[in-house]
Amino acid sequence: MGNVGGFDVGSDFQWEAVVQASWKWTDRIDVAGGYRHLSVDFEEGKNVIDLILTGPYVALAFNFQA
């Protein structure tokens, strides 16, 4: 998955890329893991954000419906 945005609406420029694999562990629990890169450039007056977040992640999803 990926996206590109900003263009001086909210932020100057922002982009993100995600690669993920997920597994159905049980009927109610899914496990996912992947890698994410997020880059945000924002400037408004004296507020400046030049942010890069990147790295692996692990996630659990719980389904409470029968």
Show pLDDT as tens, one digit a residue, over the chain (66 residues).
Answer: 888 887 776 677 889 999 999 999 999 999 999 999 999 888 777 888 888 999 999 999 999 986
Q: How far apart are CA 49 and CA 43, in angstroms?
A: 6
Q: What is the pTM for the complete model shown?
A: 0.68
Q: What is the dihedral of CA 43, 49, 55, 56, to 10 degrees?
A: -90
What does the block give as tokens for 19? 């690669």
